[in-house]
């Protein structure tokens, strides 16, 4: 026992001292290594591989053929691509409604009434259930001939509107379905934020005569800034990833008018009529670039905030 403990340092003496000397400098990298390795393998490498794939024509089975920028030239001419892009913008803009609506529901629910926890969890419920279920519920809601909304409109105006069959309305109908769980998500973020609003400041503001909108705008909202930031981030990302709802409710239809980029990418690369891996990859690259605009913005803000502190 003692023999071995004395023998080890003797054997490792040269490297041991180097190790000792550099231990502090190396430790962070060693701790980072597993994470960096995983991140590189599952995030960085696929990104570059997708970019590379977007220069090929490949059906997933046969030979890959290098076609340079042809996929991108084709995207430039592709009506469906522009439809998807336009729908992504609609999603992005209207999805942001989730933030203010979530805030107001949170403020509304931030009171002490008997059973408030039950109400809170009921409001939060749509976020808990799967997007697929949300999509299914809403497609029944919109369904021609038996849907609740369809029947309601029919009762009021005489003719029902099947929103999912109308190329001009369908994206708005989908965003409405997507907003339902997203509002709940923003609400919960604000509810936790409201817990941390300092009562002293509210008290002080009240003494100074602030109330109503002024109180909200000048006293409450500034304190909710971290919650707002997170709510905006998750909503932007949620809008750009809106795939499940499109896939469940319309499958991109009618005739492709409700596609978004992520769904179009899936359709081209992996669906039954697709298997154009290269073309799908080029759509993915465009989507990635759009996301990068937002992601870099968020990262820039976070870095700036950390420096500021």
Please identify which residue in 167, 222, 226, 297 interacts with other proteins, judged by CB under 8 A: 167
Residue 62 CB, shortest distance to other proteins, in Å, is 5
As a whole number of angstroms, the distance between CA 60 and CA 10 comes to 58
Residue 134 CB, shortest distance to other proteins, in Å, is 17
Residue 148 CB, shortest distance to other proteins, in Å, is 14
Q: Residue 209's CB: how many other CB atoms inside 10 A?
A: 8
**Helical packing angle, 13-39 and 2-11, nearest 10°:** 80
Name the 3-class secondary structure at 65: strand
Residue 135 CB, shortest distance to other proteins, in Å, is 13
Phi, psi angle pair for 56, to nearest 5° = -115, 160
Residue 271 CB, shortest distance to other proteins, in Å, is 8
As a whole number of angstroms, the distance between CA 262 and CA 100 comes to 26
Q: Token digits for 73?
A: 């030239």
Tokens 């602030």 map to which residue? 210
- The interface mask with other proteins, positions 65-84, x = CB under 8 A, is ---------x--x-x-----
Residues 6+ apart with CB under 8 A from 161: 150, 153, 169
Q: 107-146: which residues touch other proteins (CB under 8 A)?
A: 142-145
Which residue, 95 or 142, has its beta carbon nearer to other proteins?
142
Near other proteins by CB under 8 A, which window of 13-21, 53-61, 94-102, 289-297? 53-61
Q: Token digits for 132?
A: 């697929």
Near other proteins by CB under 8 A, which window of 8-16, 157-165, 219-227, 296-304? 157-165
As a whole number of angstroms, the distance between CA 159 and CA 146 comes to 13
As a whole number of angstroms, the distance between CA 271 and CA 274 comes to 5
Which residue, 49 or 59, has its beta carbon nearer to other proteins?
59
- The interface mask with other proteins, positions 241-260, x = CB under 8 A, is ---------xx-xxxx----
User: Is residue 165 a contact point for other proteins (CB under 8 A)?
Assistant: yes
255 forms beta bridges with: none
Q: 173-212: which residues touch other proteins (CB under 8 A)?
A: none
Residues near other proteins, by CB under 8 A: 59-62, 74, 77, 79, 142-145, 162-165, 167, 250-251, 253-256, 267, 270, 272-276
């Amino acid at each position: 026992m003692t023999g071995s403990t004395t023998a080890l340092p003797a054997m490792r003496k040269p490297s041991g001292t180097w190790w000792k000397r550099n231990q502090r400098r190396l430790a962070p990298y060693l701790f980072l290594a597993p994470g960096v390795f995983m991140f590189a393998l599952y995030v960085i490498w696929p990104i570059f591989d997708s970019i590379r794939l977007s220069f090929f024509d490949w059906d997933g089975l046969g030979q890959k053929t290098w076609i340079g920028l042809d996929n991108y030239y084709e995207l430039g001419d592709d009506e469906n691509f522009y439809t998807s892009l336009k729908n992504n913008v609609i999603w992005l803009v209207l999805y942001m409604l989730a933030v203010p609506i979530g805030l107001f529901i949170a403020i509304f629910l931030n009171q002490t009434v008997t059973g408030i926890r039950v109400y809170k969890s009921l409001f939060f419920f749509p976020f808990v259930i799967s997007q697929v279920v949300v999509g299914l519920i809403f497609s029944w809601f919109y369904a021609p001939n038996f849907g609740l909304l369809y029947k309601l409109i029919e009762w009021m105006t005489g003719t029902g509107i099947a929103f999912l069959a109308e190329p001009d309305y369908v994206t708005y109908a989908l965003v409405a379905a997507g907003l339902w769980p997203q509002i709940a998500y923003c609400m919960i973020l604000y509810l936790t934020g409201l817990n941390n609003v300092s009562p002293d400041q509210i008290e002080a503001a009240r003494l100074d005569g602030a109330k109503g909108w002024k109180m909200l705008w000048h006293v409450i909202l500034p304190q909710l800034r971290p919650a707002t930031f997170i709510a905006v981030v998750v909503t932007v990302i949620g809008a750009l990833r809106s795939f499940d709802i499109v896939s469940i409710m319309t499958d991109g239809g009618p005739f492709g008018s409700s596609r978004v980029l992520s769904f179009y990418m899936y359709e081209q690369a992996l669906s039954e009529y697709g298997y154009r891996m290269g073309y799908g990859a080029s759509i993915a690259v465009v989507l990635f670039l759009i996301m990068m605009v937002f992601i870099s913005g968020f990262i820039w803000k976070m870095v700036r905030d950390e420096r500021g502190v």
